[in-house]
Structures are given as C-alpha cells and as structure tokens.
Amino acid sequence: MTTRLHNMFVRSRVLPRLILLAGTLLFQTHGMAHPIDEVRSNAILELETADRQHFQWTILLGREHLDEYAKMLRNIGLPPERDRAELAKTVEHAFAFEGCQIATLPEPPPGQPDPRFSEREGGAWIGMHFQVTCPQPVAELTVRRLGYSAAKTRTTLYLAVTVAGQDAARALVPPSAEAMTVPLNGQPARALGAPVQRKSPAKDTAPGVLPSETMSAQQLAAARAAPGWRMPPLAMLRAWGREGALHLATGPDHLLFLLTLVVASPGLATLLAAVTAFSLGHLTSMTLALVFKWPAPAWVDIAIGLTITTAAFRARAPRASHLWSLSVLTASFGLIHGLGFGSGLQHLVAGYDQLVWPLVSFGLGLDAAQVAWVLLCTVLWRGLLRLSADRARTQRLSAQVLMLAGLVFAVWASVGEVP
C-alpha cells in the first residue's frame, strides 16, 4: 500500500503539483509575487493574431532567470521545476489576459518536434508557447501579473502584440505596474490599477511609452551582458528618456517649483544659474537613490511643497545680488526633488543590470522637459510683466500665490492626498 501511494504521488508528479498549487494559492492569498515574477530580470511576452480573437502567445525567459527561479523554489521548500511541461504550467499561472482563456498547446506525437517550446540564441533564451482565446474579437488586450506584490515583483516585461497587417503594439511594463492594457489600434498603452505606495500612475509607470523598435532576445541578452559604457538598444534609451520627460511633465510639484524660479529670477543669467543648480542637485540625489536603492522618504512630498513656498518667499522682490544665494538654495532643493526622481527611475530599471545609461537617458528626458517648461514660463512671465501697470505689485501677488500653492501642496502631502 505504501509503495503504491509512493508511486501515485511521487513518481506520477501528483505530489509536486499539489505542493506547487498550494504555494501558488499562498502567494495569491498573502499578496506575494509569483516566484517567476520575483526574479530581477527581463521577460518578453510576444502575441500574434490574425483575427484579434485567437492569439499565439510566447513567453521568453533567459536561462539565468530560470536558474534563479529554480533556486528560489528550493529556498522556500518547493520542488524545482526541471521538466519543461511542469515549468510551462507554472509560468502560465504567473500571468492572465483579462476576459480571455489561456490554453497549453497539445503534446506532439512521439518523435515529432515539440511546438510547446523553443530556444533562441543558442539556448540562452527559452520560449514557451501557448494559445490565448477571447470570446470575441477585441480592440485591446490586457495582461495582468497574478499574485502581484509591489514590494516583491522585480521582473520587467516587454510586451509586443502583433496584428496581421499592422505594426506591433509594444509596451514596457516596469515592476511597479501590475497590469498593462495595449490597444490594438496604435493608441498608447496604459497601466492599470492604483499604484501601491507610489505618487501617481503616470509618474511611476510607463503609460505612453511604446518602444518603437523590436525588443529581440538577442538585444536584451546583449544589453544585460554589456559593460556599463556600452549603449543598450535604442528603444530602451527612448523608453527611459520619455519616462524622464513624463515624470516631470506630470509632476505639478516640480512644475510649480520651476515656475517659482522663473518668477524669483530678476534676469536670464540668474535664471540660468538657478535652473542649472537645480539640475545638478536633483541629478546628484537621483544617482545616489538609484545606486543605493533608496526609496523616496515619506516626507519628501511635504519637503518639496516647502521648497516651493521658500523659493516663492524670495521671489517677492528679486534682486540681482541673489544670484549665488538663489543658486545654492535651488541646488539644495534639487537634492530633495531628486529623491522623488530617483524613486521613479528605480521602478523602471529593476530588470536592468547597468545604471549609467538609464541615468543618462532618464536625466536627459527630464532636463529636456524642464528646459521646455522654463522657456514657456519665461515667455509668459515676461509678457505679463510688460502688460502690467505696476510690476512690483504683480511680482508680489504672483509670489504670494506661489507661496500659497506650495503650502497647499505640503498639506495635501501630509495627509496622503498628493495629486
């Protein structure tokens, strides 16, 4: 009897499957990430369809990713997945497509090639193939991580959906995004779900960031293995740069502070010095936050609101002699703003091993948006002063409004209502 039970549960793999099922339920119940999604790496999700209803889905995982996954399973007491069919089954349970069903491809006859698996780049990448079927043709496709955990999910996803006769719709899904919807009509992808302990979805995820070039397994493998000075694929640089611009453009706190610098600067030389000092300050703290993996402290939004108020207080009656003092002040304020920038960038590079290029790309995108905003504010501010009958009064009133805005932002931040 004992031998029969042993053969039933161990040799037939029933027991390992039961243990894995219990582990999966445990992850979902306690908000822990699926183990395959906890590995700090990249995964490629490719989908192809001719009718927008039936999709061929391929998951590409690096061999190092799979080795780390097996190690993680051993550490938590689950049997390592060495059989490819068992591995594909557990990987399948790490993701879901809303409103659609996932099916495993049938096992081939003996002696025939297995359509369920493939290898790329000499076995460096393992592909697992599935079918995704929707009840009817869809205009968009939503992929969701199952058992998502904001604290534990560390895999960056590169999602590509190809409809016959169209260019592929692509989306970068950073670890901070639980789900991503990709319209199949060329519109930008969008992240779903409220971010956990984040500032706003637009700042910490990547809606609108669609890499325009193919993210092949070869490119990703080369990028991960490259020294820090070697340039990664151009699509990755563009994604980081656009996210930097998006982070500034969707941050009312940073936009208000830069507007305050425009009002506080009596001339273009002072403004240039102040903005440059601010850039150096936030680049310094952003770099430190990224290298040492500092999370944005709880007080950073309150402090940013106070930087707006302090700079606006000095803007009531700007003088040319304020050039150096304003520059030093804005550099120190930049250190505070950079902690928020660094936290946002961390969520985008969790699956990338080199930090130089993400910093450069993100920083250039951020500074490009910053320069555009400052130029626009300068033109509008100078125009307002020319139209004003009493420039001193306009200066004071504008500074007071900005002081109030900074205080309101700080109060909102203190009660967790940052816009």
Say how many CA atoms lie within 13 Å of 327 toward its Cβ: 13
Asked if 115 and 155 sit in the same domain, the reply is yes
Coil/strand/helix, residue 67: helix
Asked if 339 and 394 sit in the same domain, the reply is yes
Residues contacting residue 135 through CB under 8 Å, at least 6 positions apart: 53, 99, 100
Q: What is the distance between the alpha carbons of residues 335 and 283, in angstroms, rounded to a whole number?
A: 8
Residue 186 pLDDT:
63
Q: Is the dihedral of CA 12, 33, 183, 166 positive or negative?
A: negative
Give the number of domains in the chain.
2
Residue 143 falls inside a structural domain: yes
Average pLDDT for 96-107: 90
Asked if 220 and 285 sit in the same domain, the reply is no
Residues across the chain: 419
Q: Is-contact 284 276, C-beta < 8 A?
A: no
Greater model confidence, 80 or 12: 80
Asked if 357 and 304 sit in the same domain, the reply is yes
Asked if 385 and 265 sit in the same domain, the reply is yes
Q: Report the range out of 117-126, 239-248, 377-386 with the highest average pLDDT.
A: 377-386
Strand-pair category, 42-49 with 156-163: parallel
Average pLDDT for 297-314: 88
| Residue 60: Cβ-neighbour burial (10 angstroms; 0-12, 13-18, 19+) | buried
Residues contacting residue 405 through CB under 8 Å, at least 6 positions apart: 256, 308, 312
Nearest-5° Cα angle at 134, 126 to 178: 60
Residue 239 falls inside a structural domain: no
Residue 93 pLDDT:
84
Nearest to 180 by CA among 47, 89, 290, 316: 47
Q: What is the distance between the alpha carbons of residues 177 and 196, in angstroms, rounded to a whole number?
A: 9
Q: What is the distance between the alpha carbons of residues 323 and 265, in angstroms, rounded to a whole number?
A: 8
Asked if 184 and 283 sit in the same domain, the reply is no
State the greatest distance between any 2 C-alpha atoms of the chain, in Å, as a whole number. Answer: 100
| Residue 300: Cβ-neighbour burial (10 angstroms; 0-12, 13-18, 19+) | buried
Lowest mean pLDDT among 133-142, 181-190, 399-408: 181-190
Residue 328 pLDDT:
86
Asked if 219 and 248 sit in the same domain, the reply is no
For the stretch 315-370, pLDDT in tens is 887 766 567 777 888 999 999 988 878 776 765 665 455 677 788 888 999 999 99
Residue 368 pLDDT:
94
Residue 63 pLDDT:
78
Asked if 349 and 214 sit in the same domain, the reply is no
Residue 367 pLDDT:
93
Coil/strand/helix, residue 54: strand
Residue 236 falls inside a structural domain: no
Residue 361 falls inside a structural domain: yes
Lowest mean pLDDT among 17-26, 35-44, 268-277, 300-309: 17-26
Residue 306 falls inside a structural domain: yes
Q: How far is CA 241 from CA 112, 141, 357, in A?
A: 46, 26, 10
Is the pLDDT reported for residue 18 higher than 60?
no
Q: Across the strands, what pairs with 96?
A: 144
Q: Report the range out of 62-66, 137-141, 234-238 with the highest average pLDDT.
A: 137-141
Residue 129 pLDDT:
92
Residue 234 falls inside a structural domain: no
What one-letter code names the amino acid at 75?
Answer: N
Phi, psi of 113 (to 5 degrees): -60, 145
Asked if 211 and 320 sit in the same domain, the reply is no
Asked if 56 and 109 sit in the same domain, the reply is yes
* Owning domain of residue 345: 244-414
For the stretch 212-246, pLDDT in tens is 344 455 555 555 555 545 566 666 677 778 878 88
**Across the chain, what does the average pLDDT equal?**
76
Asked if 207 and 284 sit in the same domain, the reply is no
Residue 67 falls inside a structural domain: yes
Strand-pair category, 140-145 with 179-183: antiparallel
Residue 231 falls inside a structural domain: no
Lowest mean pLDDT among 122-126, 328-332, 371-375: 122-126
Q: Which two tokens stand for residue 148?
A: 């998502």
Residue 191 pLDDT:
55
Structural domain ending residue among the three candidates 161, 196, 225: 225
Nearest to 226 by CA among 343, 358, 347: 358
Per-residue burial over 357-379, b if 16 or more Cβ lie within 10 Å, else e, is bbbebbbebbbebbeebbeebbe
Asked if 219 and 256 sit in the same domain, the reply is no
Residue 34 pLDDT:
78
For the stretch 189-207, pLDDT in tens is 565 543 333 333 333 333 3
Residue 233 pLDDT:
61
Residue 20 pLDDT:
45
